[in-house]
């Protein structure tokens, strides 16, 4: 719109150029021979503004007319005005009879622009591609000494929408987050009438978030020097999908009937205008309808003109704010808790969310929709949804669910299969409904990995097997490892070498074992071996014991309630047959105690 002021400056130039000076009735003077037959001519025209009212704009014009005659022309000259732009006559008038002295004559004439003509000219200018042609035919008429001056045509152009057009990338920030990336903006005129001028402007945007950004209702307001020339809301909403591109378009219309009012304000303000184009989203709150500015589609421009002086228009951008005028909710902390209940176990997450907006602002209360899912390897520990309204300040969201024993066993088997390692992952989708748009709320990264090593205390050192104080065999290189678990039990594979230190055969009948974790007996049984070792020889021995997976939930919940800490004790013994008798021998190298610690759920 800054070029409109430039256009007005050119209108004034037309006013002065459209001057027509006429004279008549000098025939008698010619008959005496005292009059030079050369007609009077216009030497210069200067203009200044006169009185400006709501209806009319006064122009005071000083015209210098040269009368080459040696005698004066008394009261027979007349001066008329005709101001036209694109065939729209905006002003006309005449001076009546004037007297011309010989030589240089300075004539002051006053006329008015009818302010109601401004909208008609404006429409013609827009429809011609912001182009106006001015035709000028000044004439000095002194009866039959009149001489027409050749018509002068002058064309000027404006470019009022250039400030709306850009292909520069800019980010639309909401607090510290990017709501949208604007990749380009554009604007165009429609077919103008005397009453209205259609104006469409659009923004190409990209949504970098993993959730859609939707605008329910958009509005616009266009003002010049606080004269509102356009104001309305759109009929439908706009949604830009997650990771997608889209176009936000506003179809507005300027009320041309307000342009005469703006014209008056422009002149009274020293030919200065501030053009303010505001685009906003409409939010419905308990306090009523609120407007949330969208600066990336708004423009604010100041321009100054020199209409009568013919100077160029001075235009400068006043800029807009880089972000919207509110802060999004933020997540402060995430706390996990695991407790035993009569029905089993319960896993919960507490998420602290802060709404930084004041209570009396448009976003003093923000609806929040959230889903929360926590997996331990492939086992889902929590899958919950929550809806809440965030008031100002700190709010707490709770996500909780019962975790059955089957789920804990499912986790345990995956933990063993993954070499006693668990990846604890959180998949959260939290969206704030801002009234005009639904935007994602980022949660802090909360994925963790924890490990255990329940078989770490198993020693591979040699151990003597003694019967009645006498060494009968030596165990060497014994180790333990997990087998392939099932939902019922977890195999513990034990193996190594047995050397018979005596001359008589020795049979390893079985290995007995007990495993306790946090005071819960996970295993207590014997594993058959049945390997006979001839005197003085060595044999490989292998046995498979089993943890009872039904006991895993009791241990694990106690482990969590104890701050993710529990005491583990493992004991083994061997049942051997020697010289027809069976003996039970404790195996110290295969027995141990250790503290099991994890840090999976205790932190935030």
Q: For the segment 195-233, what is each residue's pLDDT rounded down to a tens digit?
A: 999 988 888 888 887 777 777 778 888 888 999 999 988
DSSP symbols for 476-508: EEEEEEE----SSEEEEEEEEEEEE-SSS-EEE
pLDDT at 604: 36
Rounded CA separation 352/344 (Å): 27
pTM (whole model) above 0.85 = no
pLDDT at 16: 38
Q: Is 239 helix (H, G, I), strand (E, B) or coil?
A: strand
Residue 194 φ/ψ, nearest 5 degrees: -65, -20
Taking Cα atoms as reference points, which of 8, 495, 449 lies closest to residue 225? 8
Rounded CA separation 328/440 (Å): 9
What average pLDDT does the segment 493-510 reach? Answer: 95
Q: Is 326 helix (H, G, I), strand (E, B) or coil?
A: coil
Q: Classify 2-157 by CATH class.
A: mainly beta
Q: Residue 156: which residues within 8 A CB-CB, separation 6 or more?
A: 7, 10, 131, 132, 134
Residue count of the chain, please give it: 604
Whether the per-residue pLDDT at 500 is higher than 90: the answer is yes
Residue 88 CA from chain centroid, whole number: 47
Whether the per-residue pLDDT at 537 is higher than 90: the answer is yes
DSSP symbols for 283-313: EEETTEEEEEE-GGG-EEEEEEEETTTTEEE
| Cα-based distances in Å from 333 to 39, 349, 381, 527 | 93, 10, 19, 49
Cβ burial 527-544 (10 Å sphere, 16+ → b, else e): bebeeebeeeeeeebebe
Q: How confident is the prediction for the chain on average, in pLDDT?
A: 79
**Lowest model confidence (mean pLDDT) among 40-54, 141-155, 578-592:** 141-155
Given this chain, do its domains 330-449 and 463-597 carry the same CATH topology?
yes
Q: Classify 330-449 by CATH class.
A: mainly beta
Whether the per-residue pLDDT at 583 is higher than 70: the answer is yes
CATH number among 2.60.40.10, 1.10.10.10, 3.90.25.10, 2.30.42.10, domain 463-597:
2.60.40.10
Taking Cα atoms as reference points, which of 431, 361, 16 lies closest to residue 207? 431
Q: Residue 124: which residues within 8 A CB-CB, separation 6 or more?
A: 85, 86, 87, 88, 132
Rounded CA separation 459/63 (Å): 117
Give the number of other Cβ atoms within 10 Å of residue 311's Cβ: 13
What average pLDDT does the segment 272-285 reach? Answer: 76
Confidence grade of residue 290 (pLDDT, cut at 50, 70, 90) = low
Taking Cα atoms as reference points, which of 400, 394, 401, 374 lies closest to residue 333? 394
Rounded CA separation 304/6 (Å): 8
**C-beta of residue 75 within 8 angstroms of C-beta of residue 98:** yes
Q: For the segment 389-408, what is each residue's pLDDT rounded down to a tens digit?
A: 888 888 888 888 888 899 99
Spell out the domain ranges in the chain.
Answer: 2-157, 162-317, 330-449, 463-597
Assigned superfamily of 162-317 = Immunoglobulins (2.60.40.10)
């Amino acid at each position: 719109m800054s070029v409109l002021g430039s256009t007005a400056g050119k209108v004034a130039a037309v006013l002065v150029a459209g001057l027509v000076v006429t004279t008549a009735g000098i025939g008698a003077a010619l008959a005496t021979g005292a009059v030079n037959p050369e007609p009077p001519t216009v030497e210069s025209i200067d203009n200044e503004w006169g009185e400006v009212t709501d209806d009319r704009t006064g122009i005071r014009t000083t015209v210098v007319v040269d009368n080459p005659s040696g005698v004066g022309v008394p009261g027979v000259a007349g001066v008329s005005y005709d101001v036209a732009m694109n065939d729209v006559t905006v002003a006309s008038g005449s001076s009546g009879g004037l007297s011309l002295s010989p030589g240089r004559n300075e004539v002051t004439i006053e006329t008015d622009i009818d302010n109601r003509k401004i909208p008609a000219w404006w429409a013609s200018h827009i429809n011609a591609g912001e182009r106006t042609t001015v035709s000028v035919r000044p004439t000095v008429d002194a009866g039959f000494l009149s001489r027409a001056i050749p018509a002068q045509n002058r064309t000027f152009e404006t470019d009022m929408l250039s400030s709306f057009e850009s292909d520069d990338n800019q980010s639309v920030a909401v607090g510290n987050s990017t709501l949208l990336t604007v990749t380009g903006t554009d604007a165009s005129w429609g077919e103008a009438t005397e009453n209205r001028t259609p104006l469409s402007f659009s923004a190409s945007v990209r949504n970098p978030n993993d959730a859609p950004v939707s605008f329910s209702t958009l509005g616009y307001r266009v003002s010049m020097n606080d004269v509102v020339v356009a104001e309305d809301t759109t009929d439908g909403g706009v949604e830009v999908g997650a990771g997608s591109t889209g176009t936000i378009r506003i179809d507005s219309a300027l009320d041309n009937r307000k342009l005469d009012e703006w014209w008056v304000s422009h002149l009274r303000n020293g030919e200065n205008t501030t053009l303010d184009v505001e685009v906003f989203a409409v939010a419905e709150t308990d306090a009523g309808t609120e407007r949330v500015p969208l600066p990336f589609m708004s423009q604010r421009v100041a321009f100054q003109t020199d209409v009568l002086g013919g100077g160029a228009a001075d235009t400068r951008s006043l800029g807009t704010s880089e972000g919207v005028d509110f802060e999004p909710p933020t997540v402060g902390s995430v706390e996990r808790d695991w407790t035993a209940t009569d029905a089993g176990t319960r896993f919960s997450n507490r998420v602290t969310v802060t709404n930084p907006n004041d209570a009396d602002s448009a976003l003093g209360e923000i609806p929040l929709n959230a889903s929360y899912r926590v997996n331990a390897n492939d086992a889902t520990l929590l899958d919950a949804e929550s809806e809440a309204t965030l008031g100002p300040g700190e709010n707490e969201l709770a996500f909780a669910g019962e975790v059955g024993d089957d789920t804990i066993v499912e986790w345990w088997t995956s933990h063993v299969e993954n070499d006693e390692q668990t990846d604890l992952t959180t998949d959260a989708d939290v969206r704030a409904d801002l009234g005009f748009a639904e935007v994602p709320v980022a949660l802090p990264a909360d994925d963790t990995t924890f490990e255990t090593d329940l078989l770490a205390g198993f020693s591979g050192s040699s151990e003597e097997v003694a019967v009645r104080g006498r060494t009968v065999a030596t165990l060497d290189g014994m180790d333990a490892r997990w087998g392939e678990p099932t939902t019922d039990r977890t195999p513990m594979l034990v193996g190594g070498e047995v050397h018979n230190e005596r001359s008589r055969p020795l049979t390893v009948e079985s290995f007995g074992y007990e495993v306790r974790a946090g005071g819960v007996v996970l295993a207590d049984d014997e594993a058959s071996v049945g390997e006979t070792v001839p005197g003085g020889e060595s044999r490989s021995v292998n046995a498979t014991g089993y943890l009872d997976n039904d006991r895993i939930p009791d241990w694990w919940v106690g482990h969590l309630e104890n701050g993710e800490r529990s005491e583990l004790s493992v004991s083994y013994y061997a049942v051997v047959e020697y010289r027809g008798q069976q003996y039970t021998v404790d195996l110290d190298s295969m027995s141990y105690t250790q503290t099991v610690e994890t840090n999976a759920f205790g932190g935030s």
